[in-house]
Amino acid sequence: MDEKDYDVGLVEEAKSLAVRLAQRASEAEKNGSLHPETVRELHRAGILAMGIPRSLGGTEANLVTLMHVYETLAGACASTAWCVGNHTSAVRRLNEVMGKAAEPYLRAIVDEGAVVAHGVVPTGDTRPAPGGFISSGRWPFMSFSNYARWAVLSTMAPGPPPDWTTNGAGRPPKVHNRHLIVALDQPGVTLHDNWHAMSLRASSSNDMTLEQVFVEEASAPATPSRQSDEDVPPALRVPVGTSYSPPCTVLGIAQAAIRDTIEYATAVGMSYGGATRGSMPGNQFAIADAAMLVESARAFLLQEARAILAKATKGEPFDRRDGIRMRMAGHMARQNSQKAVEGLWVIRGAHGLYENENFERYYRDVRIGTLPAPSAPDRVREQVGKFLFDIPENVEPRWG
């Protein structure tokens, strides 16, 4: 790979950190949380600041860099990669909806290692109040929440957005999207210890509730109807709706599972006959299938990441096709990674069930790829299919 299209120093930091993450992964799972030293090291390495411009002290990681970092972290500890991905997504959202007003938050991330959690799916009951909004509700899957200083919570507020104009659109919308930026130590904000799950056990993806919490208007920005990249460095420009960390994370998990299985099959004999597992043609087919599934999906995702980066560098605007192709590539990465790890059971047999072995964790963690609602397989297929048939994405019927 051409080293000019990714940050070599940042990737090397991730590789160095991954050695220690692998040593802590089992303990982190038992504790249901990342080790405090892991969070400090993520800060020192500049990984928490990947979504922040260099002009504000961030490391300004482009998509190709992110791919390497997420894969590397996930191969050692998937929960760490997942937490970093959600935090980086929240940082991007702060930039998008707040503009220059986001600077104090971004400075705290760069200087102090502050963490931001992200409630992606709009929920809650949010109503206007003098000087802002009052909100109550429950936001699930708040990854990295036990270390978060703030949360960015997507919600719907009554009435049209502030920048709405008719433009022949007819009636104004009844609701519009806003993002509430709340401090976790604010009265009425509760973090629930309910992430006792099969996958990503150390990600602290707990539920968060608000109970009549007042959020001043400056901290409850509306999502702009038209988002501009004018003030965003080219490295940080991506098509609207791009979800990048989950596919890279599961690719990293699958790659680690393949490496681990090769080592296992080379050293361990068959239960019957005694020959090494790697010497059996059926097992050779299985490892080959897994490798080809992962490498083909990885090549597609890398191709699209480079295409996005090239467009951003040239200052060209993104179009619907760019977003669709990223969703296609992400879907293939999530789907193929899961299939690859499932196929390795042929080689591992019942020995793969032991919780003291890494493979069992890889199998549990890789399944997260196809489960979140924003990237559910049927939703992605609908989006791609409508694009190919030249149908607007919001035309009914829509997948739930």
Q: Which residues contact 131 (CB under 8 A, 6 or more apart)?
A: 216, 217
Q: In one letter, which amino acid is 391?
A: I
What is the pTM (predicted TM-score) of this model?
A: 0.94
* Phi, psi of 167, rounded to the nearest 5 degrees: 45, 40
Q: Start-end ranges of CATH 1.20.140.10 in the chain?
A: 240-388
Q: Start-end ranges of CATH 1.10.540.10 in the chain?
A: 3-114
Beta strands at 206-216 and 115-119: parallel, antiparallel or unpaired: unpaired
pLDDT of residue 173: 87
Tell me the HSE value of 164 on the side-chain side, using a 13 A CA sphere. 17
* CATH number for the segment(s) 240-388: 1.20.140.10
Beta strands at 189-192 and 206-216: parallel, antiparallel or unpaired: antiparallel
Going by the DSSP 8-state scheme, the letter that residue 51 receives in this structure is T
Q: What is the fold of 118-219?
A: Butyryl-CoA Dehydrogenase, subunit A; domain 2 (2.40.110)
- What are the counts of helices (DSSP H) followed by strands (DSSP E) for the chain? 11, 7
Q: What is the fold of 3-114?
A: Butyryl-Coa Dehydrogenase, subunit A; domain 1 (1.10.540)
- pLDDT, block means (10 residues), the chain with 400 residues: 79 98 96 97 98 96 97 98 97 91 97 97 95 98 97 96 73 92 97 96 98 97 72 89 91 98 93 90 97 98 97 94 96 97 95 91 95 88 95 80
Name which of 237, 254, 239 is nearest 296 in CA terms: 254
Q: How far is CA 283 from CA 325, 341, 343, 360, 361, in A?
A: 34, 13, 10, 18, 21
pLDDT of residue 180: 98
**Residue 125: helix, strand or coil by DSSP?**
strand
pLDDT of residue 167: 63
Q: Start-end ranges of CATH 2.40.110.10 in the chain?
A: 118-219
